[in-house]
Chain A
Amino acid sequence: MFDALKFLTTTTGFWHLTPGMVFMWAIGLGLIYLAISKQYEPLLLLPIGFGIILANLPLAGLMTPEEGLLWKFYEYGIHWEIIPPLIFLGLGALTDFGPLLSMPSLIFLGAAAQGGVYLTFFIANSVLGFDLMESATIGIIGGADGPTTIFLASKLAPHMLGICAVAAYSYMALVPIIQPPVMRALTTVKERKIRMKKGRKVNKLEKLLFPIIATFVIILIVPASAPLISMFMVGNLFRESKVVERLTKTSQEELLNIATIFLGLPVGATMNAENFLQWKVIFIFLLGLCAFIMSTAVGLCIAKVMNLFRKDKINPLLGAAGVSAVPMAARVVHKVGQEADKKNYLLMYAMGPNVAGVIGTVIAAGIFLTLLQ
């Protein structure tokens, strides 16, 4: 009888609980609190937080290879490159490239913001000693694109996937806090007051051709970016064709929501105590913040350099919108611009580099994959 009771006790989760697991529960609960109470990227941080808790419940076996439910979501959804491209399909169906097409030169601000990605990669490897693949995964946090971060991490450094995803989504939620000091430090009040000249009118044919041409150009240059770019552009083609409203609506709503659920839970579940409770995690979070700040700074600086060669000056604040936290970064640019001039409406102009930044981050990730895989 006593032996039976002892056996029963030792098969409960309580017997196998470790302090590390309890600490991870606190992390998971903290993310859930931030998602619900502060509304910090709730669509991802809520399932990620819950996934962390599930992965750190002893004997639950949800991440047991070949058997666990969340392991199957991870293996067949993320490792097999299914879910992040489906997220991009939904994002493409939601994206309007009109502001970018009306002023194509803003595409360079989307490129400029990737400077922070590569600078952070270099610092992570040369200064802090992370290996090349880990450094690339940390650097891409600066692109402020969650699905791209998850896609790259799953291929180059799966053990860091959860940490980098949490860092990326946390900093994306903190864009209104992180970016404005950098923007004020690197621009003068006079520059922030610059009014943009109205862009050219974009016809429907051009908006229709953009996803097709972008697919050809980007995939021919960086074939490794094909899974993400192809889905992004087919979603956009659905939207701009105006003949597949059912597909567009499904891509924007049901598909995107389902994919988001199947992305967040397994990403959180990769964060077990063994992976997370290491000193280098602190460096990863610091480098991720550094990546965000440097991406913003490089974007602002390149905008100022562009103004040296332009007759019609662009407001250099638009450089900060190259960080592809859509549409948050564009809203922050608009808000900081309005602090200097209440009647300066920068939001639609800022959407141009904002959506270009998404393309830039995917190209940056594709180049990492090409060089490192």
Chain B
Amino acid sequence: MNNAMTIFISGITGVLGGMTLLYFSLKLTSFITDKVVASAAKKK
């Protein structure tokens, strides 16, 4: 496998992997913040 192919595969994998991790981080954050906002609203 030549260098260009290695970089091609690494690059695509890296971008997809990075964005996937960011996606799950955002999902977790939105889950937690929705709970926080909901409990703050309940207290009021």
Task: Pick the residue among A135, A210, A356, A360 that contacts B29 (CB under 8 A).
Answer: A210
Contact string against B for A residues 122-134, beta-carbon threshold 8 Å, 1 for contact and 0 otherwise = 1001100000100
Segment 201-258 of A: residues with Cβ below 8 Å from B? 202-203, 205-206, 209-210, 213-214, 217-218, 221-222
- Cα A135 to Cα B5 with chains together (Å): 12
Given A206-B33, A367-B14, do A101 and B26 touch, yes or no (CB 8 Å)? yes
Q: Nearest Cβ distance between residue A212 and chain B, in whole angstroms?
A: 9
User: Are A221 and B25 in contact, with the CB atoms below 8 A?
Assistant: no
Q: Does A262 contact B (CB under 8 A)?
A: no
Interface of A is mostly: helix
CA distance A363 to B20 in the complex (A): 12
Please report which residues of chain A, range 89-143, place their CB below 8 angstroms from some CB of chain B when the two chains form the complex.
Answer: 101, 104-105, 107-108, 110-111, 114-115, 117-119, 121-122, 125-126, 132, 135-136
Please tell me the size bucket of the interface on A.
35 or more
Assess whether A356 is in contact with B19, with CB atoms less than 8 Å apart: yes
User: Is A196's CB within 8 Å of the partner chain B?
Assistant: no
Of B2, B23, B33, which contacts A108 at CB under 8 A? B23
A278-316, CB < 8 A from B: none
User: Once the chains bind, are B10 and A205 in contact (CB under 8 Å)?
Assistant: no
The contact string, 1 if C-beta is below 8 Å from chain A, for chain B 1-28, is: 0111101101110111111111101110
A16 located at the interface, meaning its Cβ lies under 8 Å from any Cβ of chain B in the complex:
no
Bound together, the chains give a CA A372 to CA B34 distance in angstroms of 42
Contact across chains for B17 and A126 when beta carbons are under 8 A apart: no
Q: How many residues of B contact A (CB 8 A)?
A: 28
- In the complex, the answer to whether A206 meets B4 with C-beta atoms within 8 Å is no
CB pair B37–A360 under 8 Å, yes or no, is no
Residues B22 and A107 in contact, CB atoms below 8 Å apart = yes
Tell whether, in the assembled complex, residue B23 and residue A107 are in contact, meaning their CB atoms are under 8 Å apart.
Answer: yes
Bound CA–CA A110/B2 (angstroms)? 27
Instruction: Give every chain B residue within 8 A of A101 (Cβ-Cβ).
Output: 26, 30
Is A135 in contact with B30, judged by CB distance below 8 angstroms? Answer: no
Instruction: Kindly state whether residue A342 has any CB partner on chain B within 8 Å.
Output: no
**A368: chain B residues within 8 A (beta carbon):** 7, 11
Tell me the smallest distance from the CB of B12 to a CB of chain A, in Å. Answer: 6
**B17 CB contacts on chain A under 8 angstroms:** 221
Does A52 belong to the interface (CB within 8 Å)?
A: no
Is the Cβ of A114 less than 8 Å from the Cβ of B30? no
Within 8 Å of chain B (Cβ to Cβ): is A326? no
- In the complex, what distance in Å separates the CA atom of A111 from the CA atom of B22? 11
B33 to nearest A CB, angstroms? 4
Residue of A whose beta carbon sits closest to that of B4: A125
Beyond A107-B19, A115-B12, 4 additional pairs, beta carbon < 8 A = A111-B20, A121-B7, A122-B5, A214-B25
A-B CB proximity, top 9 nearest: A111-B19, A125-B4, A367-B14, A206-B33, A205-B33, A221-B18, A118-B11, A104-B26, A114-B15
